[in-house]
Amino acid sequence: MGIFSNTSPFDQDVERATSENNTHEEWGLILEICDRAGASAAAAKECLRAVLRRLAHPDPHVQVHAATLLDACVNNCGRTFHLEVASRDFETEFRRLLARAQPAVAQRLRALLRKWAEGEFRSDPALDLIPSLHSKLRAEAGESAGGASGGAGAGAGSGAGAGAGAGAAQREQEELARAIALSLRESAPAVAPSLYPRVDAVSDPAPQPAPRKVRALYDFEAAEDNELTFLAGEIVHVTDSSDPNWWKGYNERGEGLFPANFVTSDLTEPRAEEAAAAGGGTRGARSVQFAAPPEEAHVDEAAMDAALALLHEADPEAAADDSAELARLEARVHQMGPLVDAALERADRRHARLTQLSAELVDALNLYHELMRDALKPPALPTQPPQPPAAPYAPLVAAFPPPAPR
């Protein structure tokens, strides 16, 4: 189930219910979405697709709102929604979301999965994929499946295990609360401390450290309003580096998010001869700061095709080592990975936006055609017959009557 495959009629309402600007859960809108999603199997599938798309959002605040909405749908939409959740497509998407989510959000998703596996999905054989997925994830994490299988006479050990489980749950809630608080500080300066269940347990955040400087390795053009544009060689001041993939900072163009692998902590400027070799030609000392990125910084499709061709022709049973050309191409293609990922993410965002604009354009055209049909309808016929016009010379006849006969 590709979350960017197509749009859903639930997209607009789901985005409103999970907006990063929300300071509390929009339960009226959430329950309205649940009523619509439980109406049919098709509606349940479209709603689940829209919620999963929001769970893939890079903002943890949006992800927490989306997890709350997903749990509400599971609790209120009935068996039609349960069947969509208990599917292989959902399992694939859920695993991918767990792999990409921040630790606190991943813990929240695992807690929801455990709740479903031990509740709504436990007694129905048609929904056994969710308990099975929960067992698989526990096994992959190295957790034991049975709490009492380690020995009947370990009373003290079981008590300690229960205490450790409670401590782990408390740490999970605290980490989730810290992630939410950090996201709220970025989106809204003043937020009530009782918006979420454990936010009151978080201590006052420590003073923010002074922004540190990094140097841009490649050009980056903002695809969203909350992203930061910079050129290779520019200095960017980092204000938040808690996310391993997207940092927040500012320069003379503004403030926003940018890929962490597009910058380096090495602030030394490249030498003139190195900049000339990388950018092609001799440049002045002032232009070194904005020198073009090296050749490896560009997505070169020809290099990818050449590397694939060499890999296809290589003999896996040959004792000789790989050729130097193949090793060079592999290293070059590997360096293109971050650029390819960023380009794909920008393309996904633009595709989603264009799809939404296309739907709005279709609605506008339908409204236009409806108004044109109403304008071209023939006027209604009058209910009374028209009156004959008065004679044009009646006033003159009345003013000059004919002479009386003699």
The tens digit of pLDDT for each residue in 7-56 reads 778 888 999 999 888 888 889 899 999 999 888 988 988 999 899 988 88
| 3-class secondary-structure state, position 246 | strand
With vertex at residue 342, the alpha carbon angle to CA 336 and CA 348, rounded to the nearest 5 degrees, is 130
Phi, psi (rounded to 5 degrees) for 230: -155, 165
- Bigger pLDDT: 294 vs 305: 305
- Look up residue 398 and give its amino acid: A
- Please state which of the ranges 55-64, 280-289, 374-383 shows the lowest mean pLDDT: 280-289
The tens digit of pLDDT for each residue in 73-122 reads 999 988 888 899 888 888 898 888 888 888 888 888 899 989 988 887 88
The tens digit of pLDDT for each residue in 330-367 reads 888 877 878 888 888 788 888 888 988 998 999 999 99
Is-contact 314 326, C-beta < 8 A? yes
Predicted pLDDT at 308: 83
The C-alpha atoms of residue 158 and residue 147 are separated, in whole angstroms, by 8
Is-contact 283 276, C-beta < 8 A? yes
Retrieve residue 109's tokens: 């998703």
> Cα separations (Å) of 305 from 142, 299, 302, 309, 339?
41, 12, 5, 6, 17
The C-alpha atoms of residue 103 and residue 101 are separated, in whole angstroms, by 6
The C-alpha atoms of residue 18 and residue 63 are separated, in whole angstroms, by 8
Predicted pLDDT at 68: 92
* Average of per-residue pLDDT values in the chain: 75
Predicted pLDDT at 238: 92
Report residue 206's pLDDT band, with 50, 70 and 90 as the boundaries. Answer: low
Retrieve residue 112's tokens: 């929801």
| 3-class secondary-structure state, position 237 | strand
The C-alpha atoms of residue 270 and residue 283 are separated, in whole angstroms, by 12
> Cα separations (Å) of 40 from 34, 90, 255?
11, 18, 44
Predicted pLDDT at 282: 37
Retrieve residue 383's tokens: 């209910």
- Bigger pLDDT: 4 vs 319: 319
